[in-house]
Structure formats: C-alpha cells, structure tokens
A = this chain, B = another copy of it.
Amino acid sequence: MKQEKTPASFRVISGGVTKAAGFKAGGVKAGIKVTGKKDLALLFSEKPCSAAGTFTTNAIRASSVDWCSDLLPSSGIRAIFCNSGCANACTGKRGKEDTEKMATIAAEALGVKKEAVLVASTGVIGKFLPLEKMKAALPSLSGSLSVKNGKEFSTAIMTTDLVKKESAVEAAIGGKQFVIGGCCKGSGMIHPNMATMLAFITTDAAISPARLNKIAKRVVDMTFNNLTVDGDTSTNDMVLVLANGASGVKIESAAALDIFQNALFTVCNDLCKKIAADGEGATKRVEIRVSGAVTEKDAKKAAKAVATSNLTKCALFGNDPNWGRISCAVGYSGAAFSKEKMTILLCGVPVFKNLQPVPFNEKKLHTLLKKKVVEIDIDLGKGKASAIAHTCDFSYDYVKINAEYHT
C-alpha cells in the first residue's frame, strides 16, 4: 500500500461513526465536565461486530484501556460507551471497578452483556468517575440513539478540542458498496505510540476479528502513530474499529483486504490531519514528509523528531524559515541519512542541499509559511522508504491552555 493514494474505487464522503449501515449513536450532558458541555457518548450496533483495537504504550494506562484490550479482538462487540471530562487514570482499584460499572450500566440500558461494551474515558488524570451522574444520564442517552446523532457522539467525546472530527469513505468490492466511518478526539497530550487519544471507526463490511486486528495495527502504525501535538503519550489512548457486516461486503480475498486497508488508511489519515489542525493552540497544520530512508522505521524517526521539535514548531508559528532547526532535529532523530545527499524543502522551496544552505527569497517563503497547511519535505538521500508525520505549530495558546487547564 502506498501512502496518500486514494484509489478510484472509493470516494471520501461526509459523516462519522454512524455513516456505515447498522450503527446508531448519541451524546448528552451528564455533568462530568465543569463547563457543562456534552460529556457522555454511546455508540450501538444492531448486529454483533468484529472489533479490534490498538492501545497506548504508556506503562501507566487507564483501566478503560485494560478493559478494552482484554476484550479485543472480538466478534461480539455491540457498543462503545465513552465519557469526557475525567480520564479515570491513576485511580487504582476503585478506578478499575468504576470502568467495569461503566460497562455494566451501559449494557443494562442496551440489553446486552457487559462484555459486549467497550469503554473509553478522557479528561483529567487522577480523579474518580462520577458514576451516579453517568447512570442518571443513561436513559436519555440510550433513548437518543440514532444515525443523525452520530455528530452528537463526536461532540460529547471532546475535551480541549475546538471542533469535532469525523471522516468517512465509501468503497466498493465486486460492485457492492461498503462504508468506513469514524471520529476521534484529541488536541493535547498527543504523541501516540501504538494508538492515539480516542478514535472510533465503524464499517459495515464483514471481516474477521483477526484480519481486522492485523489491518488496524498496520494502518494505525502509518497514521495515528505518526501524529504528535506535544510529545506527551497519553495514558488513555485507543483506536477502536468495529465491523458489523451490514453491507454484505466480505473482506476476505487479497484484493478486498487491500481495498479495505486503503479505505481505512484514508479515514485514519484524514482523522490525523484533523487532530493536527485542532492541536492545542495550533494556528496551522504541519505535514512532514520524509523520503529516501533506508527503512520505514528510519523515515518515521526523522519525521517524528521534526514533528516533536518545539523549536521547529515555534519557528513555524512565527512564519520563520528556520530550516536549521529541522536539520538539527533530523540529526538527533537516530535515523540513518546521507549528510551529502540530504535535502530539505519548506513549502516546496529548497532550503538545504549538499550540507549547505540554499539561497532563497526570504520574504516569499515567510509569506508561504502563513498558510493554514505547511509542508516540509525531507529526502534523507539514503534509500527508498518514506513516512509522513502530522503535527501543528506551537503557539502562546498551547502554553495558555496547559497552564490554565485545571487539575
């Protein structure tokens, strides 16, 4: 699979987790957030789903992550129950019991087994869940489940996000159509390593849990794992993918698996761009495209080092073509590269070649850097592997948001 390729066989459509047939969702205010915004979300599948997940590699992980990773991959998942405003992380034994209670109360409201309910939490670390508030809000939440309310689901999972993030594609195999749709949240504490904050993806294609698991891991590795806002890997990250088979499209042949993987990549890549663009304090989205690497791992190392460099990101905020900070980050990334052959382009303008500065029009580049999307192309001059990292610039508002975000 080539990165960024969108085959003619599928098209990007609007919609999120309820775009695929057979999924309903909703989001309500339960009073978990002090702001009074929506904070409780529920996704329901009429049919049992194949489900796979990828999870944070942080050694301290929330009990919701444990709950899901214990259950997955599975062929009997019916629902995802998610709250924002409280991460239920670093909450010990009581936190673990609370996660199980979350699954239980949602299961009772939906008339399914608790093992059919995946649970996710996001928000402040070190606080206990207000379970009574959540229980009180469940009747109105389960009563509101609909296709239309998929957008309420996407809204209720937000924390410091400014906009909801949805993405969907429609694809066809053998003349029959299926849909992959998803949503995610994430704005700070974004530096996923195996998975990012919360992303929920649904499809009406039919695929075995094992195949879904394998493809999900591969796609997440190419998308969410190359995304960073601030270099901090969260305790609660997870990407969950549910496939209910409602379209009747079976993902079994090599060709079908390839189309499905491409479609899933498109949705995940698009969600990554949306997280980067809405990164805490971001004024622009930044895409770092590394080519000429010996291995994909090396390409990722270099791309992520640049994406994580505070200095580079402050320069981008200031529209300053400070490519020295980019080459510096590649230098400490640990990726193999050829000093002599390495090249750097900023907004398409060559700035570094043959280990020397390339003269450029500073005014023109300064203006190009003011765009909403900045592209940095780095050729390591050493091989044929590539990778793309997603991030944003680093502004006063990142500091403001995180100095004032109350524990």
Contact = CB atoms under 8 A, between A and B. Distances in A.
One complex includes copies of this chain to the number of 2
A70 interface: no
B90 A352 contact: yes
A81 interface: no
Given A125-B328, A231-B231, A327-B125, A399 B339 contact: no
Contact of A310 (B232, B311, B334, B395): B232
Size band of the interface chain A makes with B: 35 or more
Interface string A313-343: 0110110111111011111101001010000
Given A398-B399, A402-B314, A405-B320, A59 B356 contact: no
Contact of A405 (B61, B94, B322): B322
A152 B56 CA distance: 50
Interface in A33-74: 57-61
Contacts of A320: 403-407
B328 A124 contact: no
Given A189-B325, A234-B328, A320-B406, 20 more contacts: A58-B328, A58-B332, A59-B330, A59-B331, A60-B327, A60-B331, A90-B352, A92-B356, A125-B322, A126-B352, A188-B311, A189-B311, A232-B310, A232-B325, A232-B328, A235-B327, A322-B407, A394-B399, A395-B399, A396-B399
10 contacts: A60-B339, A91-B357, A189-B328, A233-B328, A315-B402, A318-B404, A318-B405, A320-B403, A320-B404, A321-B407
